[in-house]
């Protein structure tokens, strides 16, 4: 906005770290970082999946119609996908891969959609009247959920490139 770039890129070319501070093998820092992010995405996605089910159930109790029931079905399907992905990773003792981004992506966007629908169906009074789920805070917070652990756009690119094998930038 001020005519300047907002990003700064730098690298440590001569950085030395004591061997006892190295996580993993020397030269594999990016792999360690990506593995850590994958676990974070799986955990955040799981939390969002369970939250989406809870919020969708509450909304369906207040406004039971085809839209809210469809949102509840979607949330339940995402939670089921999370549960299966987690169990497969735990059973096999595998390191989770980039496919975990799908859980975070689906769950955060479902949660955002549920809150948007809630505000639409409950009307503006839902933004100011007290409620167990505090619709207004949930609505505002849900916008940020799609940014955590990589924006939805970044996660779509990651899934396209690393899971589907699409070329970069498609």
CATH of the domain at 114: 1.20.140.10
Residue 74 is assigned to a structural domain of this protein: yes
With tokens 């005519």, the residue in question is 3
Total count of domains within the chain: 1
What Rg do the C-alpha atoms of the chain give, in angstroms? 20
Q: Helix (H, G, I), strand (E, B), or coil: what is residue 102?
A: helix
- Residue-number span of the structural domain to which 46 is assigned: 30-163
Residue 131 is assigned to a structural domain of this protein: yes
* pLDDT score at 47: 92
Q: For the chain, what's the residue count?
A: 170
Whether the Cβ atoms of residue 68 and residue 60 lie closer than 8 Å to each other: yes
With tokens 């549960």, the residue in question is 83
Residue 91 is assigned to a structural domain of this protein: yes
Predicted confidence pLDDT, tens digits, the chain (170 residues): 345 555 556 677 777 778 888 877 888 887 888 888 888 888 899 999 999 999 999 999 988 999 999 999 999 999 999 998 888 877 877 767 888 889 999 999 999 999 999 988 888 777 776 665 578 888 889 998 988 888 889 889 988 988 889 998 76
3-state helix, strand, coil in the chain (%, to 5): 65, 0, 35
Residue 70 is assigned to a structural domain of this protein: yes
Residue 23 is assigned to a structural domain of this protein: no
* pLDDT score at 168: 84
Distance CA 10, CA 62 (A): 52
Distance CA 41, CA 23 (A): 20
Residue 136 is assigned to a structural domain of this protein: yes
Residue 3 is assigned to a structural domain of this protein: no
Residue 119 is assigned to a structural domain of this protein: yes
* pLDDT score at 10: 65
Distance CA 43, CA 47 (A): 6
Residue 122: closest CA among 106, 138, 143: 138
* pLDDT score at 80: 93
pTM here is 0.76
């Amino acid at each position: 906005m001020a005519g300047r770039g907002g990003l700064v890129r730098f690298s440590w070319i001569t950085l030395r770290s004591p061997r006892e501070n190295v996580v993993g093998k020397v030269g594999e820092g990016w792999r360690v970082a990506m593995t850590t992010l994958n676990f974070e995405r799986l955990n955040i996605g799981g939390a969002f999946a369970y939250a989406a089910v809870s919020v969708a159930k509450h909304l369906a109790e207040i406004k039971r119609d085809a839209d809210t029931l469809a949102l509840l079905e979607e949330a339940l399907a995402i939670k089921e996908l999370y549960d299966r992905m987690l169990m497969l990773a735990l059973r096999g003792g595998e390191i989770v891969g980039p496919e975990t981004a799908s859980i975070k992506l689906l769950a955060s966007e479902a949660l955002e959609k549920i809150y948007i629908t809630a505000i639409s169906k409950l009307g503006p009074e839902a933004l100011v009247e007290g409620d167990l789920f505090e619709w207004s805070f949930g609505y505002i917070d849900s916008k940020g959920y799609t940014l955590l652990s990589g924006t939805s756009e970044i996660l779509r690119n990651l899934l396209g490139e690393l899971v589907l094998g699409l070329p970069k930038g498609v």
